[in-house]
Structure formats: structure tokens, C-alpha cells
A and B are shown apart, each in its own frame.
Chain A
Amino acid sequence: MKLSSLLAFLPMALANGFPGGPGGPGCPSRIPNSVGNATGAEGCCCLTFKASCTMNLERAFHVKLFYNRKKGIAPEEFNDYWANKHSALATNFHLRMGAIRYSQVCCPESFPRCAFPRFNRVANSCTTAVPLHTRTPRSCSGGWRTADP
């Protein structure tokens, strides 16, 4: 489609008050507006930070998969493959299937329990607890991993 024909949609969309809203150009209209006792669905757009976008996400189903890395590969290798290779395949698949959001929760081995004092009544618990059979927690002194210097 030519850019000029795309631009032709714009005035109409703006006149409706929600460019890119459900049914409008550039925003998938797959999210049902009829779930629950929803109100104020008009004006939702997946590409803005409007409050109605939050409502859209709440109408979706949130699927979360937990897993361990394949036996024999290092955490760094797992993380690298996941973010840099697997996502290259998974991106288009999730887009085509209609996923609204897809996210990878990475690197829990980088955040040992001692990084969260709020949840530790014993200050040095991370040296004795967390029987992690698949990983080696970092030392307590490390805390949060900071950006490269």
C-alpha cells in the first residue's frame, strides 16, 4: 500500500477522535470490548499510554510460562539464546497469532535473595538458604547488577 493511501485514512480517524483505535488503522481490533462489565472502551489504543489501554490489557488473558534452561548450558548461554536467537523466531509468530504483549523474564540468577532486604528478616540468609540446584547465586555483596561502567 502506498503511503499516500495510508495518509488518506488519517483525517477520518482524527474526526472520530481515536486514531488507531479499535477498527481504525494501525491498531488491531481483536481485543473484545464485551468482556466483563467494561465501560469506556471507546478511545482505547494499543499504541498510547491512555488509561483505556490499561483496560484493554485487563480484558486480555495473561499466560505465564516458567521454565529452566536445558541441562548442560550455562545461564549466560541460556539468556543469550533466549533474547537474541529465540525471539527472532518468536516475534513474528506472536504478532501473527494476535498476542498483545510478549515478554521474557530473564536472569533470576543475577538477583539473589539478599538483594531484597524487605523479604529477609535474617540479614545474611542468602548464604545459607535458596537451595538452587540449577544455578549459583551471586554473593550478597553484589546486590543489584549495575550497568557496565
Chain B
Amino acid sequence: MDGGLPILEFDGAAEFWVPNLETFAAMGSDPEYVNVIQPDEANFIDAESMRLIVGVDYIVVENQNAVMEHGRTFPRTNYNG
């Protein structure tokens, strides 16, 4: 180890935000995706290499402002510190 952080070995990433997970599921089975988008992906993407993460954003700074009100809250747990 040289002390530097390892870098993920991907050539790129695409990200999108959807209002609910049903939308994400619908995207994958939509005829336009299956018949048009997915075949086009095969023109430049190695399908085997694809990896996925899904999460929700907790935005701390936005447009050079500290974010004081959030769209989601997370329960506080007791921790030292």
C-alpha cells in the first residue's frame, strides 16, 4: 500500500433521482428502455461491469448554503461523541 486511497475502477457512472422506487422498477421494464435505450447502451457500455447503488440524499450544503431543513429526518441514536 502506498498510503493513497484506492479508486473505483469504473470508466463512468450515471445517476438519477426518482420520486419512488416503483418509478425505478418501471424504468427497467418500460418498452422504450428495453427496445431503444438498452440496445443503445450496448454500443458503449460493458453490461457485465454494471454495478448499482440506491440510497437517499441528506444534503448538508447546497448552493453554498448550509441546509437547515431537511426532506427526511433520521432517528437520533445514543452514541459517544
Closest to B32 in A: A93
Main SS of the interface on chain A?
A: mixed
Q: Mark A28-69, 1 if CB is under 8 A from B, else 0.
A: 001110011111110000000101101111111111111111
Roughly how many angstroms separate A65 CA and B21 CA in the complex, as a whole number?
15
A132 vs B72: C-alpha distance in the bound complex, in angstroms?
38
> Would you mind naming 8 contact pairs between A and B with Cβ atoms under 8 Å apart?
A54-B67, A58-B70, A65-B52, A67-B14, A69-B12, A78-B44, A101-B17, A106-B12
Shortest distance from the beta carbon of A56 to any chain B beta carbon, whole Å: 6
A-B pairs with beta carbons under 8 A, tally: 228
Which of A3-11, A13-21, A122-130, A141-149 contacts the other chain?
A122-130
Range class of the A interface residue count = 35 or more
In the complex, residue of chain B having the shortest beta-carbon distance to the beta carbon of A82: B44
Quick check: is B80 within 8 A (CB to CB) of the other chain?
no
Tell me whether A99 and B18 are in contact in the complex, defined as CB-CB below 8 angstroms, given that A62-B57, A89-B40, A93-B32 are known contacts: yes
- How close is A147's CB to chain B, nearest CB, in angstroms? 21
Q: A55-B69, A61-B24, A68-B45 are in contact. Are A102 and B16 (CB under 8 A)?
A: yes
A90 to B23, CA, bound (A): 15
Complex: A36 Cα to B75 Cα, angstroms = 10
A128, B72: Cβ atoms closer than 8 Å = no
CB pair A121–B4 under 8 Å, yes or no, is: yes
Partner of A58, one of B13, B20, B45, B56: B56
Do A36 and B3 touch across chains, with their CB atoms under 8 A apart?
no
Per the bound structure, the CA–CA distance linking A138 and B11 in Å amounts to: 14
Contact A128 B2 (CB under 8 A): yes
- Of B4, B9, B41, the contact of A119 (CB 8 Å cutoff): B4
